[in-house]
């Protein structure tokens, strides 16, 4: 598969141009990244030009003398610029050459592993509906989102940790029971009792809604 450079187009904003360039590169089997920018002298300064290169375009520098680690860096010479003109933002290819073959799937490039805030929010919303991770994966893949099942499990765990606020699951439950067991709304009160051992570990916990206790 040939690696074609992005089309030379004009855009209304730099972000629209970058989004379009990244989407085009993803379909071609490569990735570009910004390695330099230039701003004007206004206050606050605004970007007037961006230099982009292939994500594999840096020169590999061996950081360890003892461990032989692999690298995806190939020193690819491909480069392009994104310049703000009087009218709009213009794309210009400085060097259209590549020194590697296109990847068969975007997942092969680490740059596409990063999940957007929109994707993370989608996972959180679907998880709240008690939908299984496998079905969440199917839903996201249909939207052409590069993601794996493990990514979804990781995001679910991150959301759970955030909701717990640093507490364990049982600590969060006791905190919630204490809150709803001591407010003024009788319909939302819970009765609960628990016992801890000398290490502050919960040995047993019982809780029930006050309305439920009327049936005992």
Q: Which residue ranges in the chain fall short of pLDDT 50?
A: 1, 183-184, 186
pLDDT for residue 89: 93
Q: Are 109 and 55 contacting, i.e. CB atoms less than 8 angstroms apart?
A: yes
What are the tens digits of pLDDT across the range 73-112?
777 888 999 999 988 999 999 888 888 777 666 666 666 6
pTM: 0.53
pLDDT for residue 184: 47
Each domain of the chain, given as residue ranges in start order, spans: 1-58+65-105, 115-166, 169-213
pLDDT for residue 45: 83
Q: Strand, coil or helix: what is 19?
A: helix
How many helical (H) and strand (E) elements, i.e. helices and strands, does the chain have?
Answer: 6, 7
Question: Which of 35, 30, 7, 24 has the alpha carbon at shortest distance from 112?
Answer: 30
Question: Which of 129, 5, 15 has the alpha carbon at shortest distance from 77?
Answer: 5
Q: Are 190 and 205 contacting, i.e. CB atoms less than 8 angstroms apart?
A: no
Q: What are phi and psi of 43, to 5 degrees?
A: -125, 115
């Amino acid at each position: 598969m040939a690696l074609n450079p992005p089309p030379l187009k004009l855009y209304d904003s730099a972000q629209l141009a970058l989004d379009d360039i990244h989407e085009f590169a993803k379909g071609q089997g490569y990735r570009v990244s910004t390695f330099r920018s230039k701003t004007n002298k206004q206050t606050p300064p605004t970007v007037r030009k961006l230099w982009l290169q292939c994500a594999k375009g840096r020169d590999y520098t061996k950081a360890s003398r003892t461990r032989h680690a692999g690298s995806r860096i190939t020193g690819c010479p491909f480069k392009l610029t994104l310049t703000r003109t009087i009218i709009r933002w213009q794309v210009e290819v400085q060097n259209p050459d590549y020194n590697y073959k296109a990847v068969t799937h975007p997942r092969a490039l680490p740059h596409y592993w990063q999940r957007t805030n929109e994707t993370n929010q989608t996972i959180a919303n679907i998880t709240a509906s008690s939908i299984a991770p496998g079905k969440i994966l199917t839903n996201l893949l249909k939207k052409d989102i590069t993601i794996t099942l493990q990514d979804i499990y990781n995001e679910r765990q991150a959301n759970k940790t955030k909701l717990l606020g640093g507490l364990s699951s049982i600590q969060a439950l006791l905190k919630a029971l204490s809150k709803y067991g001591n407010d003024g709304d009788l319909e939302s009160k819970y009765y609960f009792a628990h016992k801890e051992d000398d290490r502050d570990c919960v040995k047993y916990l019982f809780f029930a809604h006050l309305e439920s206790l009327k049936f005992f």
